[in-house]
Amino acid sequence: MLRLILISIFFVTCLSAHPTGDMILVNGTLYWSYVCPVNDPQHHACIMKWDEENGVRPWLTSSFSASDWTMSPNPDGSIYIIERYYDNARDVFMIRLFLLKNANDEPVEIKPWFIDENRFGEAGFAAIDDTTFVFVKYPNLYKLNDDGSAEIWKDWPEPLYGLRHIDAGRLLLRGESAIWLIDYNGNILESWSELLQPLTAEEPFGGNQIFDSDYSNGKLWLAYWGHRKFEFLEGENRTTIKQFESPFVPHAVAVDTQNAFVLASTIDPGTTQDILPNLWRFSNNTLQLIWGDKNNVTATEKDKSEIPPAFELEQNYPNPFNPVTSIKYKVANNKKVTLRIYDILGNEVASLVDNYQSAGEYEISFDGSDFSSGIYYYKLIAGNFSQTKKMLLLK
C-alpha cells in the first residue's frame, strides 16, 4: 500500500515529511491528519480542524516523531482516534485509542499503548459497537481482539485497500478498482466497479490508484490519485470537480449532505519542492481553496512581501462564461471574508466564501450549470471593504 511505501521512504531517506492518516467530517467540523509544522523532518503528526466560524487551525499534535493519527466517526457524533508512532529502538509500531465525545471536549484515552502488529486502523477502521472494532489490513477485513491481535471478520472475495464508517449500520469498502457499500452483516447495499481508468499522462509516484473515498446522498466521492482527480459518481454519471496538476495528488476526501472536501499534497520524489497542502471545499456548485494556495505556499507561511497591499476584487475570467468562471481577489490582512453571487434583482443565489481568511491572493471557481443565462453580480466583503462586479452567463 502507498502509505507503507511512503513510511518506508521516510525512514530510509528522511528527505521530507509526508502526510498520512485520514480525513472525516462530523457535525460541520472537518478533521484531518497532517504533519505539524508542515514539513517537520521528524514527522510529528497533527490533527487539523476546520469549521465555518474559526477556519483552519492545528488541534492535536503528537509528541512523538514518526507518528500518525487515524480517525473514525460514530453515528452519535463522537470520534474514535488512534495515535501511532514508530519506536525505532524496538522496531515496532505503538498505538493507543482515544474517544472524543464532542468537538468541545478533550479526547479521552480508552485503550493504552500497545504494540501494533496488525497496522490497526491505518487503512481505516470502524466501531461496530463499543467493543467491536473492524479494520482493513490488505487484503482482508479484520476484527481487533482485546489483546491487540486480530482475526478475519468478513472473508471478502476481493483484496481490500480501505474502509470508512459511513453511518449507523453502513461501511464503505475500497478495493483496487471497486467499492462496496455494505451493512454490518456484510451484505452489499450498493457497489461500483471498473473505477480505475487508463492513464493518459505520466503515472504519478504511487501508481494508478484511488487513494480515498466517501459516500453521501447517493454520491460516491473519490480522491483519484492516479488521475490526480477529485470526482464523484452518481448513477451512471462520473463528474470531475477538480483536475490537479503535478506534483499535486489528492489523497483524502470527506463529505456530508452539503459539503465535499478534498486534500491534495505535492507528493513526488522527483520534485525539489517541499511537501505542501491544498485543501478544497466544494459546496453550492462552487470550489473554494481553504488551506494552502495556488502557488504551493500555505497562507501562514507567506512572506510579508507577498501580502497584498490592499483588498481587491478582480473581474471574473472568462466573461462571458459557460458554465464555469474563475474569480480572483486579494485579502490584505486576516478578516472574515464573504463572496456571494446575486441575480439581477438583487437576490442572493450562491455563497462562495463565508469564513475567516489569512492575508493573500485567492482564486475560486463558480459553476453556473444550475443557473439561467443572464447578468449576475458578485460581491466581496472583508471588514469595511466591499466591492461588487458584474458577470454574464451565456448558455
Per-residue pLDDT of 192-248, as tens digits, reads: 999 999 998 888 888 999 999 999 999 999 999 999 999 999 998 999 998 998 889
Q: Which of 172-181, 278-287, 384-393 has the lowest mean pLDDT?
A: 278-287
Answer yes or no: do 170 and 272 share one domain.
yes
On whether both 276 and 346 belong to a single domain, the answer is: no
Residue 319 has pLDDT above 60, yes or no: yes
Same domain? 257 vs 364: no
Residues 128 and 180 grouped into a single domain = yes
- What is the number of structural domains in the chain? 2
Examine the domain organization and report whether 171 and 283 are in the same domain: yes
184 lies in the same domain as 267: yes
Are 368 and 276 in the same domain? no
Domain match, 181 and 327 both:
no
Q: What residues form DSSP beta bridges with 216?
A: 219
Tell whether 241 and 335 lie within a shared domain: no
Task: For residue 19, tell me if it sits in a domain.
Answer: yes
Task: Please check whether residue 187 lies inside any domain of the structure.
Answer: yes
Residue 284: which pLDDT band, with cuts at 50, 70 and 90? confident
Q: Which domain holds residue 71?
A: 2-293
Q: How far is CA 182 from CA 169, 171, 176, in A?
A: 8, 5, 17
Q: How confident is residue 295, by pLDDT bands cut at 50, 70 and 90?
A: very low
pLDDT exceeds 50 at position 263: yes
| 3-state DSSP assignment of residue 299 | helix
296 pLDDT above the threshold of 50:
no
CATH of the domain at 168: 2.120.10.60
Per the domain annotation, does 300 fall within a domain?
A: no
pTM exceeds 0.75, yes or no: no
CA angle 192, 28, 383 (to 5 degrees): 130
- Domain-embedded: residue 304: no
CA dihedral angle for residue 371, residue 372, residue 374, residue 378, rounded to 10 degrees = -10
Q: What residues form DSSP beta bridges with 324?
A: 367
